[in-house]
Amino acid sequence: MSTHGIASRGWGRFALIGYCSLVFAFLVLPILAVVPLSLNPSSFLVFPEHGLSLRWYRALWDSPQWMRAFGNSLSVATATMLIATPLGTLAAIGLANMRSRAKPLIVALLSAPMVVPVVIVAIAFYFLFAPLGLVNGFAGLVIAHTVLALPFVVIVVHASLQGFDFELVRAAASLGARPATVMVRVLAPLIAPGIAAGAVFAFMTSFDETVVALFIAGPDQRTLPMQMFEGVREQISPAITAAATLLVIASTVLLGTAELLRRRADRLRPDRP
């Protein structure tokens, strides 16, 4: 290859890296802007700050409303994760074994909550749950969030099943193992990283969800995103930036955990060298 061609490839790679860096900065910098604002000692949102203070983090800790909202979000997200993870795992296993022409249609139906605008989904949940008495209760909120989180679990676990040798499952069954034993002792350990990553995504989906909660949840089920939304609408306080910063940190940690689990699942795939 000529020197001119090598130089062209080098400049092209440099331009691509620069372009990706600009896109990354465009997406991330507005999110990171709340971090210095959360350390603002003033009662108003000003930038740049004239000092640093943990005042608004202490305000969150001392506020019964914020702590109750955090507890509600944690409870609903945990319940959603515990329900959506096994359901999504079983659905992913069924899809991996399916050879029917209806498989694309089933995948599309399972993915519908991810594609349909969330406000439409929220309105549909409201009109469905209202006659059943599931509005203004934890049960309805958990069911709605489970429906929203289920596609993420199915997609992640189904990806971890690509290349999985189901002959191992058949061999265990031929030796007399019951289906539950095969699932617990053979299949689940081999795809455990994928299942764990799906559980992380299910938890995140519920913990960060706002629109459906506004339609389904009542005053006693106010979640952390709902509390932030109400704070922005009624009275802007720097405490909102502190809560937003904590959500950004939690989301980053959970996404990093999910990525590590995904890489571990890829390394454990039987088709990899």
* Per-residue pLDDT reduced to its tens digit, 189-236: 777 878 888 888 889 888 888 888 888 887 787 888 888 777 666 667
237: left (phi over 0), alpha (psi -120 to 50) or beta: beta
**174's tokens:** 């031929």
Task: Report cis status (omega within 30 of 0) of the bond before 41.
Answer: no
Per-residue pLDDT at 184: 75
Asked whether residue 90 is domain-assigned, the answer is: yes
* Shared-domain flag, residues 137 and 9: no
* The two three-digit tokens of residue 39, written as one number: 């350390």
Residue 40 domain flag: no
Please indicate, yes or no, whether residues 199 and 126 belong to a single structural domain of this protein: yes
Q: Find the mean pLDDT for residues 109-128.
A: 85
Both tokens of 228, joined, read 């932030």
Decide: 57 and 38 in contact? Cβ < 8 Å: yes
How many domains, in total, are found in the chain? Answer: 2
Give mean pLDDT, residues 236-253: 79
**Residues 117 and 199 reside in one and the same domain:** yes
Same domain membership, residue 140 and residue 8 = no
Does 117 reside within a domain?
A: yes
Same domain, 18 and 90: no
Express as a percent the part of the chain with pLDDT over 70: 84
Average pLDDT over residues 113-134: 86
User: Does residue 177 sit in the same domain as residue 246?
Assistant: yes
Tell me the pLDDT band of 11, cut-offs 50, 70 and 90: low
Both 15 and 98 in one domain: the answer is: no
**252-262 mean pLDDT:** 75
Mean predicted confidence (pLDDT) in 115-136: 86
- Whether residue 67 sits in one domain with residue 27: no
pLDDT of res. 30: 76
Global pTM?
0.78
In a domain, 255, yes or no: yes
**Number of neighbouring beta carbons within 10 Å of residue 49:** 15
- Res. 83 pLDDT band, cuts 50 70 90: very high
At residue 79, the pLDDT reads: 93
Is the CB of residue 185 less than 8 Å from the CB of residue 168? no
Residue 262 pLDDT greater than 70, yes or no:
no
pLDDT at 157 over 70: yes
Boundaries of domain holding 15: 3-32
User: One-letter amino acid identity for 3?
Assistant: T
pLDDT tier at 80, thresholds 50, 70, 90: very high
273 band by pLDDT with thresholds 50, 70 and 90:
very low
19-62 per-position pLDDT tens digit: 888 888 887 777 777 777 777 766 666 666 676 777 778 877 87
Tokens of 127: 């009109």
In a domain, 46, yes or no: no
Position 82 scores a pLDDT of 93
- 113 & 9 share domain: no
CATH number at residue 206: 1.10.3720.10
Q: Which two tokens stand for residue 265?
A: 């699942």
Indicate if 9 and 115 belong to the same structural domain: no
Per the domain annotation, does 182 fall within a domain? yes
Structure tokens at 52: 């640093």
- Is 131 within a domain? yes
